[in-house]
Homo-oligomer: A and B are copies of this chain.
Amino acid sequence: MRAGDRAYVTLREEITNGDLPAGTVLGEVEQATRLGVSRTPVREAIRRLIGEGLAVRRERGVEVTEVSLDNIRELYDVRVALECQAARLAARNRDPEVFETLEAAFDDVSGLLDDRDGLRRDYYALVARFDDAIDDAVDNPYLVAAMRTVRTHLARIRHMARSDRSRLLDAAREHALIVHAIIEGNGELAAHATHVHLYNSLSHRLAKAVSLEGHTADAVSPDEGDARETA
């Protein structure tokens, strides 16, 4: 792997993790020293981060962007548009077998969910498979790229609103319906079920985020590092 790619992956990971919080200035020399490479690959990595919107040029150097509650709403406005369309297209092109497997898994999910993080991780892995199946079925590189960008940004606010068990069970039912509609080839139902799912997801997150603001916002456990963000 090239040093430039490593620097990019590392920095992006640290930003989404929160290790590099919003407002952190990304000096080329500083990051180059820290990552053990020269300025050139770091420079490339930072430029890519700026291109994705994870960092911005400021008067003095570049710094990690903020993510506010308003940003969450904005991201969901884009997400609804993209993922409803994706569901619609997936219903048109889908391979039924893939989604039948997924449907069975979502129906069985109550047996999977436990308060122990290992099992929760299994659920997130299932959602990741769901996302991949959609990406694969839509077969549209532009749409997939746009969705990936939104997912990257949403991953940053994961720690602000961690889903609880009851929300995950609801989310599983919502996913099951989306998958069912896709199997039936019912694009409109798939799109609308996606809309419903994302509305509920956003409502849950906003409630969590607001209730956390102020007292324990920074004390939320930031585990589940690589879990995909779709509950």
Contact = CB atoms under 8 A, between A and B. Distances in A.
Q: Do most interface residues of chain A lie in helix, strand or loop, or is the interface mixed?
A: helix
7 nearest A-B residue pairs (beta carbon): A81-B85, A74-B140, A81-B81, A78-B142, A78-B143, A51-B51, A146-B146
Interface string A82-110: 10110001000000000000000000000
A9 to B, nearest CB: 14
Interface string A35-77: 0000010011001100111000000000000000001001101
A148 B47 CA distance: 18
13 contacts: A44-B47, A48-B51, A51-B51, A53-B145, A74-B140, A74-B142, A75-B142, A77-B142, A78-B82, A78-B85, A78-B143, A142-B150, A146-B149
Contacts of A82: 78, 81-82, 146
Contacts of A52: 51
Interface residues of A, number: 28
